[in-house]
């Protein structure tokens, strides 16, 4: 507090927040809030220490620049009271509001005051009233989020573009509120698909060619493989809108026909269906090759055979067991291992030959796939998921009943806060458990999908291998195989991935 004319006057921190969506709302704008706070302080004869203004920030959390400055200043007791127009300016989440009150303001003797709401945080009832205001501020935010979600879903169903920069090939017509074709860019999109389907270039080759031609990317900067892949996988070019994994007929014209887009997706799946192999080690099977004698990993090693002669310089590539190489002690499995240096070309040729054999022996591949997927039909995660979702629905119904009881005056604010506290904690616990079970269920589903992809790639292996670049070949091998075992006698065994 400061002393004016012998009277102690509260020093006030005036907090203002407006989100992007609220800019145009009457009475919510920054000038409107500032005017009301100034008028209130003048009427109360209070002195403003500083204005804390978060322009364009949501109230869903406390990660706002001036909110963080407010917290720091409160911890050093630079003011006596925090003043705002309405509690939801401070936060729309009950948890955050109570955190500010109980962990930041109260311990430092700082009060809070709303211009439009009446509560006194120095009394138990006042605290309960504040808690209830925070509950309904949070409820309002959750309602807003749900309305936005439903609005986006409805927009997608009606085929409307979901916003953001227009994809390459289109312009946004604000008058018609729809995407229209930009013919020059649309020709570039068609060219990209044709070039990829031609099979001579992968992502990197097409990116390099676009840069060589001086064609600007959608961002105006140099092209990159991420941008190119987004174009090659974006279903918007079919004249549809994608939302949450579902496709809806769009109100914009298509740039590609369905057959070309489907063909591109098949080629994408075959050439890069799973993870890309690491290229830093150089070997075709680096990272998945093991010693068949001791079980240790094998490293890719380049040996300068006629060192220090450089004319000609003879370098031979090998795979060598870490136990024998001794370059990395913690990778050693057996100090007595003598599997020997295995020429990389011989190991890699054996791996490719094995994959070629699998490509024509579909019965063997089907049998292996069945063994790998054995037990994948476990229904327990699904039953658990259904039970948890049922419990969560029950919790939501109980919360709704308590809110209705409070609105009808059947229970006091103190009772409501006490009764919903345990329910909200239980709800949070259930939601966390559901996420975990869903992840396990999805993993099992992806495992089955991966095996289907592996079988598809194997079926087309000879053709793919001929067309693939060195990097793509590493990707194909690392995705098809789980492990390569190399034995002392030069025998090589491969294990299909899961």
Catalytic residue positions, numbered: 19
The whole-angstrom separation of Cα 387 and Cα 390 is 5
Are 240 and 160 in contact by the 8 Å Cβ rule? The answer is no
The CA distance from 82 to 105, in Å, is 9
* Measured distance CA(251)–CA(376) in Å, rounded: 41
CA atoms within 13 A on the CB side of 420: 26
The DSSP call for residue 490 is S
CA distance 371 to 364: 11
Specify whether the CB–CB gap between 241 and 162 falls below 8 A. Answer: yes
Structural tokens at position 113: 């005051």
Structure tokens at 260: 């070309």
Residues 6+ apart with CB under 8 A from 273: 453, 456, 457, 479
Phi, then psi, of 52 in degrees rounded to 5: -115, 110
- Token pair in block for residue 310: 């450089």
Please name the residue that has the structure tokens 């506290």.
Answer: 421
Q: How many CB atoms lie within 10 A of CB 140?
A: 13
What does residue 123 show for φ and ψ, rounded to 5 degrees? -115, 155
Cβ–Cβ under 8 Å, residues 464 and 269: no
Instruction: Record the tokens describing residue 387, joined without a space.
Output: 């039970």
Q: How far is CA 497 from CA 298, 368, 386, 451, in A?
A: 18, 10, 31, 8
Alpha carbon 395 to chain centroid, angstroms: 28
Which position has the token pair 């990707």?
475
What phi-psi label fits residue 77: left (phi over 0), alpha (psi between -120 and 50 degrees) or beta? left
Pairing of strands 246-249, 240-243: antiparallel
Distance CA 217, CA 76 (A): 50
d(CA 320, CA 338): 10
């Amino acid at each position: 507090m400061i002393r004016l004319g012998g009277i102690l006057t509260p020093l006030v921190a005036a907090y203002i927040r407006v989100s992007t969506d609220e800019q145009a709302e009457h009475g919510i704008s920054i000038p409107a809030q500032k005017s009301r706070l100034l008028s209130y302080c003048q009427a109360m004869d209070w002195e403003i220490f500083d204005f804390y203004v978060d322009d364009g920030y949501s109230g869903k959390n406390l990660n706002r620049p001036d909110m963080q400055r407010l917290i720091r200043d409160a911890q050093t007791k630079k003011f006596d009271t925090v003043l705002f127009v309405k509690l939801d300016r401070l936060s729309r989440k009950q948890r955050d509001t109570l955190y500010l009150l109980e962990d930041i303001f109260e311990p430092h003797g700082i009060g809070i005051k709303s211009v439009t709401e009446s509560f006194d945080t120095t009394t138990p009832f006042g605290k309960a009233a504040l808690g209830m205001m925070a509950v309904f501020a949070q409820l309002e935010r959750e309602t807003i989020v749900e309305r936005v979600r439903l609005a986006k879903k409805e927009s997608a169903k009606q085929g409307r573009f979901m916003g953001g920069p227009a994809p390459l090939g289109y312009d946004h017509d604000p008058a018609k509120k729809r995407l229209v074709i930009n013919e020059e860019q649309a020709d570039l999109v068609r060219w990209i698909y044709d070039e990829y389907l031609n099979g001579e270039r992968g992502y990197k080759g097409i990116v390099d060619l676009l840069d060589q031609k001086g064609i600007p990317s959608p961002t105006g900067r140099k092209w990159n493989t991420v941008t190119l892949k987004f174009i090659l996988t974006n279903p918007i070019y079919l004249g549809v809108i994608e939302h949450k994994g579902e496709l809806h007929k769009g109100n914009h014209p298509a740039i590609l026909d369905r057959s070309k887009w489907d063909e591109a997706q098949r080629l994408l799946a075959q050439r890069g269906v799973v993870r890309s192999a690491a290229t830093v080690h150089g070997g075709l099977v680096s990272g998945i090759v093991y010693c068949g004698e001791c079980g240790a990993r094998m490293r890719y090693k380049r040996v300068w055979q006629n060192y220090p002669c450089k004319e000609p310089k003879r370098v031979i590539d090998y795979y060598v067991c870490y136990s024998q190489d001794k370059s990395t002690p913690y990778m050693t499995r057996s100090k007595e291992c003598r599997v020997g240096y295995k020429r990389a070309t011989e190991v890699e040729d054996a791996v490719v030959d094995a994959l070629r054999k699998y490509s024509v022996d579909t019965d063997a591949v089907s049998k292996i796939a069945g063994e790998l997927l054995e037990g994948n039909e476990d229904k327990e995660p699904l039953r658990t998921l259904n039970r948890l979702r049922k419990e969560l629905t029950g919790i939501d119904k109980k919360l709704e009943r308590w809110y209705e009881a409070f609105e009808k005056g059947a229970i006091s604010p103190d009772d409501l806060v006490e009764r919903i506290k345990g329910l909200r904690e239980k709800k949070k616990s259930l939601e966390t458990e559901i996420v975990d079970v869903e992840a396990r269920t999805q993993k099992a589903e992806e495992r089955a999908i991966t095996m289907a992809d592996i079988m598809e790639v194997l079926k087309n292996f000879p053709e793919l291998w001929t067309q693939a670049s060195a990097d793509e070949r590493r990707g194909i091998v690392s995705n098809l195989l789980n492990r390569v075992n190399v034995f002392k006698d030069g025998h090589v065994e491969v294990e299909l991935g899961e």
